[in-house]
Every structure is written in structure tokens, then in C-alpha cells.
Structure 1
Amino acid sequence: MSPLAKISSAYGPRFAEFAFEPAFTAAVDQHVAELRERLSAGGAELTPPAPDHADLTDYALGFLDALAELDWREPVGHDYAVCRLTAISWLVHRHGLLPEQRRGD
């Protein structure tokens, strides 16, 4: 399973929390914006373009490696890593970056 698929599988279910956790929603939104800027997927367009699949995968691998080095364990609430991983998952979902998401196009 690809890193983006693993992250999406693990953190996509957290989208349901957006309905009752406005602070979590805002934090994830900020992480999405930062990721778009970091990966140069931002721009002046009203609807930002999709991030490059390879760039997001490379970023996700590096982030997961850093978490492994820190021996990070997912907390009950929302820390920086949970927000970042949820943001990665949101970008994957929003832009259909997994092969199984693109089949319907």
C-alpha cells in the first residue's frame, strides 16, 4: 500500500470530526494551506490546483520517517502530527490522488 493510501485510510475517517470540532477543522485547514505552499501547489486561482502526486508522496514519506524517529504515538486528541496527517489525507481525497479514486474519472 502506498504511503498516501495508508495515511488516507488511517486519517480520512477523521473528516467526520469536522462537523463537531471547529478548532480541529481550522487547524487542518491551516495545514492544508501550508502544504500547498510548501509543495508549490498554491497560486492566485480561486480553486487551487492539485498538489503533484510524487511531491506529496515524498513529503509524506519524510514526515512519517520523522515521526518514526521520534517514536510518535497517535494521541487521543489532535496534535500537530494528527492535523498534518489529516491534511495530507484531505488533499489526497479532494484531488483524487489515489489510483482507485481516479478510475471513476
Structure 2
Amino acid sequence: MVVFEEGWAAAPFRWLMDALGDAQLARMGSDPGLVAAVDQHAAVLRDAIPLDRETLGDYLLGFLDELRQRGWAFTGEHAEPAALRLTAVCWLARERGFLSDELPA
């Protein structure tokens, strides 16, 4: 189970990748249904916000903060809507190279 540890907001992309992104993205390699669901969430994000580092990072902070306030925790159920949206953020961040340097986000 993933919980919000102290410091999650200081580097949200990295925290998210460590917390669930790496495992979810690896699972996509063998789960076409997960790929399709994550792609749908990524398309919603592409239509809703500019996909630059700052805007996606701000979106992620707001989304995570809302989940934290609701007491949400990732339990490993990869088809859960919040987990799919977070996986889409991870996928987009990786595809756009937002994780390839040492910047805090």
C-alpha cells in the first residue's frame, strides 16, 4: 500500500514514480488493458492542460493533495481510476523527459 510520506510534495514526480509509477509502468508491458486505460487518462490530460513540466507538476500536486485529503492510498489495484490517472501522469512525465534530470519535480 502506498501512503503519503513526509516530503512527497517536494519532488512529486519522483515520489510518484517510486510509490507506484515504476511498478505500474512495468506492468503495462504485459497488460494491454492497462495500456488502453492509461492511454485514455493520458488523452484526457492532453486535452485539459498544457503538458509542460510546470503545468503537469502543478496538476499532480493538486491531484495528490486532493487524494491525500480524502485519505486515499494505492492498494495495488491498478484499475482504480485514481491509480490510472496517476499512472498516466507517470507515463507522460517519463515520455516527455521530466524525470531525466535532478530537478526537484
Taking structure 2 as the reference length, what is the TM-score of the superposition? 0.77
Residue 76 of structure 1 deviates from its aligned partner by 2.8
Q: Which moved more, 1:58-67 or 1:72-81?
A: 72-81
**What pairs up with 1:1-105 in 2 under 5 angstroms?**
1-10=10-19, 11-40=21-50, 51-78=51-78, 79-98=80-99, 100=101
Residue 4 of structure 1 deviates from its aligned partner by 1.4
Residue 89 of structure 1 deviates from its aligned partner by 0.6
Question: Over alpha carbons, which structure has the higher Rg?
Answer: 1
SS at match of 1:63: helix
> Aligned AA for 1:33?
A
CA RMSD of aligned residues (A): 1.9
Post-superposition CA distance 1:56-88 (Å, at most 9, x none): 011000000110111001123220111111111
Q: Which moved more, 1:30-39 or 1:16-25?
A: 16-25
In structure 2, stretches of 5+ residues that fail to align are 1-9
In structure 1, stretches of 5+ residues that fail to align are 41-50
- Count residues with an aligned counterpart: 92
Which structure 1 residue ranges, 4+ long, deviate > 3 Å from structure 2? Answer: none
